[in-house]
Amino acid sequence: MRFSSSDITAAVKRLRSGGVVAFPTETVYGLGADAMNAEAVRQVFLLKGRPSNNPLIVHVTGPEMAAKIGVWESETDDRAARLARAFWPGPLTIVIPRREVILDEIIGGAAVGGRGTVAVRSPSHPAALALLFEFDGPLVGPSANRSGMVSPTRAEHVREVWADDQVMVLDGGPCTGGIESTVVSVAEAETRVLRPGLIGPDELSRELGSPVVFGADVPTETGGALPAPGMLARHYAPATRSELVEIADVSALLRNMTTGQRAVVLAISPLKLSAPHTLMAMPQTAPDYAAELYNALRRADAMNCDAILIERPNGAGDAHIWAAIRDRLGRATSV
Ligand code: TXA
Ligand code: MG
């Protein structure tokens, strides 16, 4: 691990003075700020260029801290507590009814007509946990990328965007998960997955002993209180034109490109390419593919080519992780 206890101390100092600290989690790097400091939270929205109606996840040390900012457990509803027992710390964000202490800025304020919920998550990365325990309070933590761009999975991805005086980066090495946490809402009678991730609906359902629905919310740009406003169609997107393709079609697609144009192909299947095109071989298993995906998209984007072609994964095993990967690929290639 690259971070030391003096890094944690320095990061906490920055957070206490209202500053912004990017921190590693097991999924992606987050843009951290004191969740109880309205000015610091506004700074996070500003840095990300995030629409104010898209609420932030609040990172907590565990259930005890979560219970201070949301309605965690009642006599009739222990879903959040059960899910946390099974999956925290880890890549699961739980949407619960909010408490009054939660800043309007975090949940989207007036823009959503008073959203009544808050999303909480306890990350398992040792640096994130060390930071949360030392800070001893909730931290907002959206993915540390500009809104709509590819999420960062390494410290250098964050440093490419912001200078140290804007965002201090706590370097915890590459993220092992690679795609953002599963978001599940227990704020209503139905348990609903709002964003697919490494933890699948079947695992959640098994833990709860009750059904979990997939909240394929209709993405709109019109504002308003979307179930998970972050789930807009185009998201996680490289700047280069990107396309999801069948492996059998790659040769024809490359032949049809204008002479002199170059493509990068992200392929799981074996493939031979000739100049000027570049092959990036992607991992075969879903967890490895997820861990590598955003780094690969960034590397492909940096090659300044004319197109990124991504083989549509049809992998067997780990069906829910492939589903989460396909969800991200769909958004990355949506126009
Ligand atoms: O893995 C992750 O969750 C990372 C790391 C840093 O923890 N964070 C992350 O945050 O992905 P962000 O802000 O990029 O994505 C949060 C997602 C968005 O889709 C947002 O709309 C949704 O969670 N969300 C946040 N609060 C919500 C709420 N109260 N109700 C419904 N959806 C909510
Ligand atoms: Mg994000």
Residue 18 CA, ligand 1 centroid: distance in Å: 21
Residue 58 CA, ligand 1 centroid: distance in Å: 8
Cβ atoms of residues 271 and 277 within 8 Å: no
Residue 211 CA, ligand 1 centroid: distance in Å: 22
Q: Name the residue with the closest Cα to ligand 1, atom 10.
A: 142
Distance of alpha carbon 153 from alpha carbon 290, whole angstroms: 11
Which residue is it, tokens 């949506």? 334
Pocket test for ligand 1, best of 176, 183, 186 (most atoms within 8 A of CB): 183
Q: Can you give the C-alpha Rg of the chain in angstroms?
A: 20
pLDDT, one tens digit for every residue, the chain (335 residues):
578 999 999 999 999 999 999 999 999 999 999 999 999 999 999 999 999 889 999 999 999 999 999 999 999 999 999 999 999 999 999 999 999 999 999 987 655 545 689 999 999 999 999 999 999 999 999 999 999 899 999 999 999 999 999 999 999 999 999 999 999 999 999 999 999 999 999 999 999 999 999 875 444 343 344 455 555 566 778 899 999 999 999 999 999 999 999 999 999 999 999 889 999 999 999 999 999 999 999 999 999 999 999 999 987 889 999 999 999 999 999 87
Our answer on whether the CB atom of 228 is closer than 6 Å to any ligand 1 atom is: yes
Q: Is 325 helix (H, G, I), strand (E, B) or coil?
A: helix
Our answer on whether the CB atom of 231 is closer than 6 Å to any ligand 1 atom is: yes
